[in-house]
Amino acid sequence: MAVEAARARFLIEESRELVLVLDSERTLIAASRRAREVFPGLAVGSEAPAELLEGDARWTPVVVPYELEGRREELVYLADSGGSSAYEELRMGFTAAVSHELRTPLARLLALLETALLPGANQRQLLEQAQAEVKQAGELIDDVLFLSELETGREVVSLGSTRALPVLEEAVHEVRERADRAGVLVSAEGDAAIELPLRARMLRVVAQNLAENAIRYAGFGASFTLSVGVEDGRRVLTAADDGAGVGEQDLPRLFERFYRADHARASRGTGLGLAIVKHVVTSAGGTVEARAGLGAGLVIRCSFP
């Protein structure tokens, strides 16, 4: 019976649907991670919001009552009222964005190869540049596939927890050579005892993407620090630099796929790094925010219960 109960909890937790479990008083017993992402105010032990159970233009509740050992409970599915048309619109938009982003390195690659055929061309230099364009396209494809795996549930993000500081130090070590070339000083610090609710691989993905974002955009002479600590009872992973910073109008859009602030549009980044960070963190029940640093730079906070 205990195994069956644990299996049921896992299935609800990891469901990609918006699922709630209520008792006879409409008190929330459990909610899928996806439901908590979409409705951050959900709290086990509190009364389920009436607007969710009544439905609106966005959500249509599907209620399945059942009885378990004499207790009356309800399984509530919150269906997207927009249906498949909304999903299709999202899918088409994402496909168009990927196609656009791939065209840029491919067009540059074709131009470099055509130039290499001209008389007197520096073929070695042009071929090295062509190799860089192929690498850029490969990185973009890898990021798109990884994000797709996350969103289809093939990667379980938060089974277990990981001591954070050793992973942050490892990520800093791995990017240090690139950081030195970019003129960015990188470091990691924090409480060595703190664990974050992420698998080690997922935490490494988050740390590397945060570090690489700073290396690409902070600017020569900047300093960047990955740190972990506790603030107001929550565990917080912070990525902070004192570099070029981001305009206030760009801050809300930093976690969008392929979005780049104006000063970063010439970067070799794929435009998916921070989108991956947000997806991993929110899938583990956390929140992500970006804000301007004191005086200059950018601060990204990943906060976990």
Let me know whether 299 and 216 are in one domain: yes
Does residue 50 lie within any of the structural domains?
yes
Helix 200-217 / helix 164-182 crossing angle, nearest 10 deg: 30
φ/ψ of residue 73, rounded to 5: -135, 170
Higher pLDDT, 230 or 72: 230
Q: Is residue 189 domain-shared with residue 293, that is, in the same domain?
A: yes
User: In this model, does residue 47 exceed pLDDT 90?
Assistant: no
Residues 243 and 136 in one domain: no
- The boundaries of the domain holding residue 130 are 83-151
User: Which residue did the predictor score with more confidence, 7 or 280?
Assistant: 280
In a domain, residue 156? The reply is no
Q: What is the CATH number of the domain that holds 214?
A: 3.30.565.10
At 262, the pLDDT band (50, 70, 90 cuts) reads very low
More confident residue, 305 or 91: 305
Return the pLDDT at 205.
84
Whether 296 and 166 share a structural domain? yes
Model pLDDT, residue 96: 53
Domain identity same for 97 and 171 = no
Please give the pLDDT value at position 63. Answer: 80
Average pLDDT over residues 32-59: 78
pTM, to two decimals: 0.54
Long-range contacts of 60-68 (CB under 8 A, 24+ apart): none
Confidence of residue 144 (pLDDT cuts 50, 70, 90): low
For residues 241 and 170, membership in a common domain is answered with yes
Residues 12 and 111 in one domain: no
DSSP string, 46-111: SBPPHHHHH--SSEEEEEEEEEETTEEEEEEEEEETTHHHHHHHHHHHHHHHHHHHHHHHHHHHHH
Report how many domains make up the chain.
Answer: 3
**Region 256-282 average pLDDT:** 66
Across the beta sheet with 223-231, the strand order is 185-190, 223-231, 234-241, 298-304, 287-292
Per-residue pLDDT tens digits for 18-38: 888 888 888 888 888 888 887
Mean pLDDT computed over every residue of the chain = 78
Which tens digits make up the pLDDT trace of 53-81? 776 656 778 887 877 777 888 888 877 65
Which of the listed residues 23, 45, 80 is the one where a domain comes to its end?
80
What per-residue confidence (pLDDT) applies to 131? 83
Instruction: For residue range 155-207, list pLDDT tens digits in order.
Output: 555 557 889 999 999 999 989 998 999 999 999 999 999 999 888 878 888 99
Residues 40 and 104 both lie in one domain: no
> Token pair for residue 242?
């004192």
Q: What is the pLDDT of residue 39?
A: 81
Whether 157 is covered by a domain: the verdict is no
Which of 46, 80, 114 is the last residue before a domain boundary?
A: 80
According to the model, what pLDDT value does residue 211 have? 93
Cβ neighbors of 222 (< 8 A, separation 6 or more) are: 183, 184, 185, 214, 241, 242, 243, 244, 297
Mean per-residue pLDDT for 114-140? 81
